[in-house]
A = this chain, B = another copy of it.
Amino acid sequence: MKKPSLSIIKIGGQIVEDEQKLKSVLAQFAKIKGAKILVHGGGKAASAWSKKLGIIPQMIEGRRVTDAATLEIVTMVYAGLYNKKIVSWLQAISCNALGLTGADLNSIQSHKRIVKTFDYGFAGDIDLVETSILKQLLSNHVTPVFCAITHDKKGQLLNTNADTIASELAVAFAPFYETTLKFCFEKNGVLENPEDNHSVFSKISFTDYQKYKQVGIISEGMIPKMDNAFFALKNQVDKVFICGAKEIYQANGTSIQL
């Protein structure tokens, strides 16, 4: 029997924080046929709210250090402000959205990142995704909308990378659905020349990736995104794309392939 289709779409912070862009992306997202899940970031907005409250955001190698005060702020901004704005806008266009953190339905359980070189504070690394109730909801045409917060099942919320949430969800659902994972962000895809938004690779294999990384064509923030993409492909996710916000509904951007 053919498995039903599932699209997991991750939208990045710059899309989430621009009201016009976000509304246009959600309109595209709502048109996707079959089961779908949205995952959103919101890191830049969290930094802005931190500053308003007199807390200076701390970053180590591009990753946020989440102390107790910062955890309160990201919980408010991701799970409150943006998650509920997105849910209400999707409801307005008849997409039956349900906003979630990993604590809700115990859907994503993680542990506080173990301190090695750096202490990232209340940052969560994912241990398991609980799919049973989510599958029932999907078959009832409910669209889960995840923000970048998980929990440890011991009462502690944890700040968790949204790209990682998207790929872990895709891996967990892949046995049950023909799963497509798309990372949508402010560029049109993986670029050969970071300055030229038209220099999009149409596809990248794992061998290409190793090569491009070595010569520095793929660098910085794109590396964890690519790693999440290959993690998904190596764990039975059917298709993975890195693309712009306009390509949510079409199979454009960069196709990542093993």
Other-chain contact of A98, B72, B105, B157 (Cβ < 8 Å) = B105
A228 to B195, CA, bound (A): 60
A92 to B155, CA, bound (A): 5
A229 at the interface (CB under 8 A from B): no
A224 at the interface (CB under 8 A from B): no
Q: Report chain B residues within 8 Å CB of A151.
A: 87-88, 91
Flag A78-120 by CB within 8 Å of B: 1 or 0 each.
1111011101110110001111110111100000000000000
Other-chain contact of A91, B78, B83, B106, B140 (Cβ < 8 Å) = B106
Does B81 contact A101, Cβ atoms closer than 8 Å?
Answer: no
Other-chain contact of A76, B76, B106, B153 (Cβ < 8 Å) = B76
Q: Report chain B residues within 8 Å CB of A154.
A: 92
User: Contact size class for A?
Assistant: 35 or more
The secondary structure that dominates the A interface is helix
Q: Which residue of B lies closest to A87 (CB)?
A: B103
Other-chain contact of A79, B72, B84, B96, B149 (Cβ < 8 Å) = B84
A80 to B104, CA, bound (A): 12
Does A99 contact B92, Cβ atoms closer than 8 Å?
Answer: no
Q: Report chain B residues within 8 Å CB of A52.
A: 53
Known: A80-B78, A81-B75. A98 touches B104 (CB 8 A): yes
8 A Cβ contacts from A222-253 to B: none
Does B91 contact A96, Cβ atoms closer than 8 Å?
Answer: no
Q: How close is A146's CB to chain B, nearest CB, in angstroms?
A: 12
Q: Report chain B residues within 8 Å CB of A136.
A: 136, 140
A162 to B89, CA, bound (A): 22
Other-chain contact of A80, B75, B96, B106, B140 (Cβ < 8 Å) = B75
A133 at the interface (CB under 8 A from B): yes
A137 at the interface (CB under 8 A from B): yes
Can you name 22 A-B residue pairings with CB atoms under 8 Å? A75-B81, A79-B79, A79-B80, A79-B84, A80-B83, A84-B101, A84-B103, A84-B104, A87-B103, A87-B151, A88-B103, A91-B103, A91-B106, A91-B155, A92-B154, A97-B105, A98-B100, A98-B104, A99-B101, A99-B103, A99-B104, A133-B137
Contacts A75-B85, A80-B81 aside, 16 further interface pairs with beta carbons under 8 A come to A52-B53, A72-B81, A75-B81, A79-B83, A84-B104, A84-B149, A87-B101, A89-B155, A91-B151, A91-B155, A92-B154, A98-B100, A98-B105, A105-B142, A133-B140, A136-B140
